[in-house]
Amino acid sequence: MNPWMIGGPALLTTAVAGLAAYGAVNSRSQLFGSAICRTNSARKLALTFDDGPNPAITPKLLDLLDRHKARATFFVIGKFARECPELLKETAARGHVIGNHTDAHPNLFWLKPDQITVELRCCNYSIAAATGEKPRWFRPPFGYRNPWVIPAARELSQRAVMWTLLPGDWRATSSEWLIPRMKSVAENAQRNLAGDARAQNSANGAGDIVALHDGGHRQLNADRLPTLAALEYWMPRWRDLGLEFVTIEEAVNAPAG
């Protein structure tokens, strides 16, 4: 018997499953629709924070960002936005961009189109109730997508935002563990901003988007002190290397004038 009669369909199934897994999980994959995966300049560094608002950490993070004159993007969970509307309002008022991170933080890979839309709409509603503005940016929980996620966001005029670096800060028990895991941002800046025109050209449109967490999706008041300590370490160093802290909006827009 021709072995392809047995192996062919199984191999094909494996290949399709592998491709689907890549499209669902890989942060740079465009397989299931277009997503923002980098800033548009090597000089621009976009810090993003997921799973808040978190009363235990977000106020401290806002002060830290102010001290470094930095603006960032917060992808918040709808159910936490309803618990802490004042904190969310303050985050927006201090110049940060608020994005949608769904209402209850499910793995969207398993959800049907109408369930995905409900997750997005409920979160939008809670953000708008607190800040007065509907978010234009969306990040899927765990980074998981299926073929309906990005079209559902687009239907609501929202663009999906992924990352170049996910240091895994939710696992960090100390800043000593986390700090080396954020080193690539400085290495990229050293390589791309060193004054070498050729390197700068090849890095065009290649700034980092770092995905960190000011909250925890399971409950409010998650401890993210190592994340704050690692930022205290890196932010002055990043600035000295010539990086500018930008929101996702600034990360994709051309500079004015």
Residue 15 CB: number of other CB atoms within 10 A? 10
Select from 38, 44, 49, 50 the one that contacts Zn ion (CB under 5 A): 50
The footprint of Zn ion on residues 229-248 (CB under 5 A) is: none
Select from 41, 51, 57, 192 the one that contacts Zn ion (CB under 5 A): 51
Closest CB 103 distance from Zn ion, rounded Å: 12
The mark string for 188-217 relative to Zn ion (x by CB under 5 A, - otherwise) is: -----------------------------x
Q: Which span sits near Zn ion by CB under 5 A: 139-147, 168-176, 179-187, 242-250?
A: 139-147
Ordered alpha helix ranges (H), 78-148: 78-83, 85-93, 113-131
Closest CB 190 distance from Zn ion, rounded Å: 30
Number of residues that bind Zn ion (CB under 5 A): 4
Local structure of 212: helix, strand or coil = strand
Cβ burial 188-197 (10 Å sphere, 16+ → b, else e): bbeebbeeee
- CB-based contact 247:73 (threshold 8 Å): yes
CA 55, distance to chain mean position in Å, is 20
For position 119 contacting Zn ion by CB under 5 A, the verdict is: no
How far CA 83 is from CA of 54, 89, 124, in Å, comes to 9, 12, 14
Closest CB 50 distance from Zn ion, rounded Å: 4
Select from 52, 78, 141, 143 the one that contacts Zn ion (CB under 5 A): 141
Cβ burial 100-112 (10 Å sphere, 16+ → b, else e): bbbbebbebbebe
Closest CB 84 distance from Zn ion, rounded Å: 16
Q: Which span sits near Zn ion by CB under 5 A: 40-48, 125-133, 137-145, 180-188?
A: 137-145
Which residues contact Zn ion (rule: CB under 5 A)? 50-51, 141, 217
